[in-house]
């Protein structure tokens, strides 16, 4: 579904005066406002192909209707988000949930919607109906070499699909681990996994990156074979320069200092990408910024500081993706909220007075350091984010257009009320 351009313009026109007042107010306090806006305009967050449907829990799933029935419709949904916010210009595919049967057609459709292909995601955490060997006891860690080979071959196949689409990275998330003490020999599980990853790495094109995602627990509850950033870093360091660690915000044990993890991975040149979401307890997959917005700000603060220290391009040198889906919201509204939260937090991190912060740190002036961070965090930057959207052809308030144009109702009419998108 597409919203006609004149409707977007009408919407912007109706909010323009109020927006201008708010924008002028904040712009007056910023030294290089155009430079900051350009960074916001350039920053794009990939949407995963599995987030367009209402997510499930292991207790049930309550689809909301109008969910995309195939990859084409998923691309259209992301195209719509991108038309509204101009910050969701990429799609990340999960194989086999979204196999591009006709790559050139899918590529052309994505291009029409202004979308690029972000990281490809493999799946060895579920058994597929036509699959020969089971992943019940793991995939790349498996005691049986034949199972490991099947997992390796699958990842290589995912790279092939990605090559056809113009993607340049592979994300490997393994659910491998154990549920009970004694079930696994940790060292052998690690070595098997490393060997399997090395085989995939060897098949990776030179211009590609491999992201190794870690997760503390779930579905395994006693041990996870890539359980934390230390283990991921161990694998990626042994693999080589095309391998990086991927941080998913929901994959840590409670109270982990994620901002410090990010700072150190960046320092080592081993941070590759991000999966954004929020959580209260674990891998809750809640809307970005809905539970711990200050933590998100502190993470972005380290990202900006660490990337600038290495002269990295904020928009292109790391992979940015949302990884969330849940039961109770319209997934498209939820994604609009998540992207907005990311843009707001990025803008706040760009406002941190880094020179003064460094001085405060050198003087052990703890109070001033906190004041500087909270000054940025407490700044209402929404008009800056809206102005960036406006300048790049989007709308001032994406959620309000989505609702006033009755997008979900149209999608239900078009696709039906009982559709269920592929994913979890």
Q: How many residues interact with ligand PSV (rule CB under 6 A)? A: 10
Burial bucket for residue 369 (CB in 10 Å: 0-12, 13-18, 19+): middle
Question: Cα-atom radius of gyration of the chain, to the nearest Å?
Answer: 22
Helix, strand, coil distribution of the chain in percent, nearest 5: 50, 10, 40
CB of residue 219 vs ligand PSV: minimum separation in angstroms? 9
For 407, how many CA atoms within 13 A lie in the half-sphere containing its CB? 25
The encoded tokens of residue 142 equal: 């498996």
Which 227-256 residues touch ligand PSV, going by CB under 6 A? 248
Q: Is 248 in the site for Mn ion (CB under 5 A)?
A: yes
Residue of the chain from 156, 315, 369, 424 that contacts ligand PSV (CB under 6 A): 424
Q: How many residues interact with Mn ion (rule CB under 5 A)? A: 3
Which 310-349 residues touch ligand PSV, going by CB under 6 A? 323
274-287 burial, b if ≥16 CB within 10 A, otherwise e?
bbbbbbeeebbbbb
Residue of the chain from 67, 213, 228, 259 that contacts ligand PSV (CB under 6 A): 213
Q: How far apart are CA 80 and CA 410, in angstroms?
A: 13
User: Per-residue contact track with Mn ion, 257 to 296, x per CB under 5 A?
Assistant: ------------------x---------------------
Q: Which of 262, 215, 208, 280 has the alpha carbon at shortest distance from 240? A: 208
CB of residue 365 vs ligand PSV: minimum separation in angstroms? 39
The encoded tokens of residue 30 equal: 């910023």
CB of residue 261 vs ligand PSV: minimum separation in angstroms? 16
CB under 5 to 8 A by kind: which of ligand PSV, Mn ion, none does 50 bind?
ligand PSV
Q: Is 228 in the site for Mn ion (CB under 5 A)?
A: no
Which 112-131 residues touch ligand PSV, going by CB under 6 A? 121
Which 269-288 residues touch ligand PSV, going by CB under 6 A? 275, 283
Where residue 7 falls (left for φ over 0; alpha for ψ -120 to 50; beta otherwise) is alpha
CB of residue 275 vs ligand PSV: minimum separation in angstroms? 6
Which 170-209 residues touch ligand PSV, going by CB under 6 A? 173
Q: How far apart are CA 334 and CA 355, in angstroms?
A: 36
**DSSP string for residues in 111-178:** HHTT-EE--EE---SS--TT-SS--TT-STT-SSHHHHHHHHHHHHHHHHHHHHHT--EEEEE---EE
The encoded tokens of residue 143 equal: 């005691």
Residue (98 or 387) nearer to ligand PSV, CB: 98
CB of residue 21 vs Mn ion: minimum separation in angstroms? 40
User: Per-residue contact track with Mn ion, 301 to 330, x per CB under 5 A?
Assistant: ----------------------x-------
Residue (121 or 419) nearer to Mn ion, CB: 121
Q: Are 211 and 246 in contact (CB under 8 A)?
A: yes
Q: Is 77 in the site for ligand PSV (CB under 6 A)?
A: no
Q: Which residues bind ligand PSV (CB under 6 A)?
A: 50, 121, 173, 213, 215, 248, 275, 283, 323, 424
Q: Which residues bind Mn ion (CB under 5 A)?
A: 248, 275, 323
């Amino acid at each position: 579904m597409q919203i006609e351009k004149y409707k977007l313009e009408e919407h912007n026109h109706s909010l323009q005066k109020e927006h201008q007042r708010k924008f002028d107010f904040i712009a007056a306090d910023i030294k290089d406002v155009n430079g900051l806006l350009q960074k916001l305009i350039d920053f794009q967050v990939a949407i995963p192909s599995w987030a367009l449907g209402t997510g499930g829990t292991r207790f049930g799933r309550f689809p909301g209707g109008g969910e995309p029935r195939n990859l084409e419709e998923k691309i259209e949904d992301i195209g719509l988000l991108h038309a509204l916010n101009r910050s969701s210009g990429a799609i990340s595919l999960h194989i086999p949930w979204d196999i591009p049967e006709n790559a050139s057609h899918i590529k052309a459709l994505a291009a029409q919607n202004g979308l690029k292909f972000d990281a490809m995601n493999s799946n060895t955490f579920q058994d597929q109906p036509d699959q020969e060997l089971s992943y019940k006891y793991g995939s790349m860690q498996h005691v049986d070499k034949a199972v490991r080979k099947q997992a390796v071959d699958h990842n290589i196949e995912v790279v092939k699909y990605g090559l056809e689409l113009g993607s340049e990275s592979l994300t490997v998330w393994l659910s491998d681990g154990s549920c009970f003490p004694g079930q696994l020999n940790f060292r052998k599980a690690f070595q098997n996994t490393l060997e399997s990853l090395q085989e995939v790495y060897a098949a990776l094109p030179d211009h590609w990156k491999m992201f190794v995602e870690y997760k503390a627990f779930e579905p395994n509850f006693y041990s996870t074979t890539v359980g934390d950033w230390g283990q991921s870093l161990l694998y990626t360091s042994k693999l080589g320069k095309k391998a990086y660690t991927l941080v998913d915000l929901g994959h840590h044990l409670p109270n982990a200092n994620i901002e410090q993890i990010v700072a150190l991975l960046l320092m080592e040149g081993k941070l590759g990408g991000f999966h954004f979401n929020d959580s209260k307890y674990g891998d809750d997959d809640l809307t970005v910024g809905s539970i711990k917005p200050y933590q998100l700000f502190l993470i972005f603060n380290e990202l900006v500081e660490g990337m600038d220290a290495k002269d990295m391009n904020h928009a292109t040198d790391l992979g940015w993706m949302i990884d969330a889906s849940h039961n109770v919201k319209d997934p498209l509204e939820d994604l609009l909220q998540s992207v907005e939260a990311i843009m707001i937090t990025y803008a706040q991190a760009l406002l941190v007075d880094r020179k003064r912060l460094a001085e405060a740190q050198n003087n052990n002036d703890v109070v001033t350091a906190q004041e500087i961070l909270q000054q940025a965090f407490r700044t209402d930057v929404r008009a800056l984010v809206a102005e960036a959207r406006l300048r790049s052809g989007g709308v001032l308030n994406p959620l309000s257009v989505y609702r006033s144009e009755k997008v979900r109702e149209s999608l239900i009419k078009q696709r039906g009320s009982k559709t269920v998108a592929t994913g979890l």
